Amino acid sequence: MAVEPRPVIGRLQSRLWAALLLLLVSGCGSEDYQDRLDTTSRYFASLELQDSNLHGAWTDAATTISLRVPKQFAELPGPAPAPTDGSANTEGQDEEEGPDPRQPGFLTVPLPGLRAAFRANVSVVGDNGRSANGAGYLYVLSNHHLAGNLEMAAKFESETIDLLAAALNVSLKPDDRRNATYPQRPDAFLKPVPYIEVELEPEEQPDEMAREFGVATRFSLYSHADGDVQVILLWVLPRDLDTSEKMAVRRPLCLESLKIGQPQLLLPKEPGQMSNGTQGAF
């Protein structure tokens, strides 16, 4: 199950301790009191920027992956947990897992290693310049399901990129894979998170995608590795998003929030579960 968000008082206490630590650290050497105040002010401004644009942390306890998603996104429910009393199984037979409802119906292939899916109702700029309604998705994938085969696990990123490119009928060139590190803003007070970025935009939409989106759609893939663990954040968004969605700010903030608590690659005991912090009515 996903970790419950910490109480507000607990979060405030943690931030106050962090601010005090910043003051103590920055107080060493020749920096004066005003410099320490400026550092603390920038720290709290960074926290406010995150809190005003992102949900609290979503955490997948089975893989220790955590992330803060933009506020317009709500988590989609995962597959129902298997019964624990064995009543659904016949002797000598294992229960077959049902389909994962989070898998995108607008793709011809399932997403490998799916840990979570989030959906948002978004505003799109139409051909006439008027705002229209659309949908956006964020998928969290990882190679934990390949923990028993490190050779296959190491290929997870490249094979997932190739799988999506083939499904969307998009040809990739070597320079389509770009290196990027987040945060890219000053005074973030966060550990840098390196990614490999790939953008895919099909020239023609399959029928399923046209029914789901109805507008030009972009698949933006961000892959991060820590030890043997590989995590992919896949954004599926209308190309012409309205600026009111603030994705130019919120997506980088989300990308910089990614954490892997345990970089050791272990087989998860349960599918990605739903967090309380981002639940919605989708």
CATH number of residue 159's parent domain: 2.60.120.1690
Q: Judge whether 243 lies within some domain.
A: yes
Q: Judge whether 115 lies within some domain.
A: yes
Q: Judge whether 182 lies within some domain.
A: yes
46-71 pLDDT, tens digit per residue, is 999 999 999 999 999 999 999 999 99
Over 80: is that where the pLDDT of 93 sits? no
- Among 74, 68, 66, 40, CA closest to 52: 68
Q: Domain range for residue 60?
A: 55-79+101-260
Task: Give the residues across from 224 on adjacent strands.
Answer: 231
Question: What average pLDDT does this structure show over 164-173?
Answer: 95
Question: What average pLDDT does this structure show over 187-193?
Answer: 94
- Please tell me the distance from the alpha carbon of residue 108 to that of residue 209, in angstroms, as a whole number: 10
Q: Judge whether 275 lies within some domain.
A: no
Question: pLDDT-derived band of residue 206, with 50, 70 and 90 as boundaries?
Answer: confident
Q: Judge whether 111 lies within some domain.
A: yes
**Measured in Å, how far apart are the chain's first and last C-alpha atoms?**
20
Q: Judge whether 208 lies within some domain.
A: yes
- For 113, phi and psi rounded to 5 degrees? 65, 35
- Please tell me the distance from the alpha carbon of residue 47 to that of residue 199, in angstroms, as a whole number: 29
In the chain, how many domains are there?
Answer: 1
- Please tell me the distance from the alpha carbon of residue 260 to that of residue 126, in angstroms, as a whole number: 38
pLDDT, mean over the chain: 85
Q: Judge whether 118 lies within some domain.
A: yes
CB 145 within 8 A of CB 267: yes
Q: Judge whether 86 lies within some domain.
A: no
HEC string for the chain = CCCCCCCHHHHHHHHHHHHHHHHHHHCCCCCCHHHHHHHHHHHHHHHHHHHHHECCCEEECCCCEEECCECCCEECCCCCCCCCCCCCCCCCCCCCCCCCCCCCCCCCCCCCCEEEEEEEEEEEECCCCCEEEEEEEEEEEECHHHCCCHHHHHCHHHHHHHHHHHHCCCCCCHHHCEEEEECCCCCCCCCCEEEEEEEECCCCCCHHHHHHCCCCEEEEEEEEEECCEEEEEEEEEECCECHHHCHHHHHHHHHHCCEECCCCCCCCCCCCCCCCCCECCC
Q: pTM score, two decimals?
A: 0.82
* Of 8-22, 102-116, 153-167, the least confident: 8-22
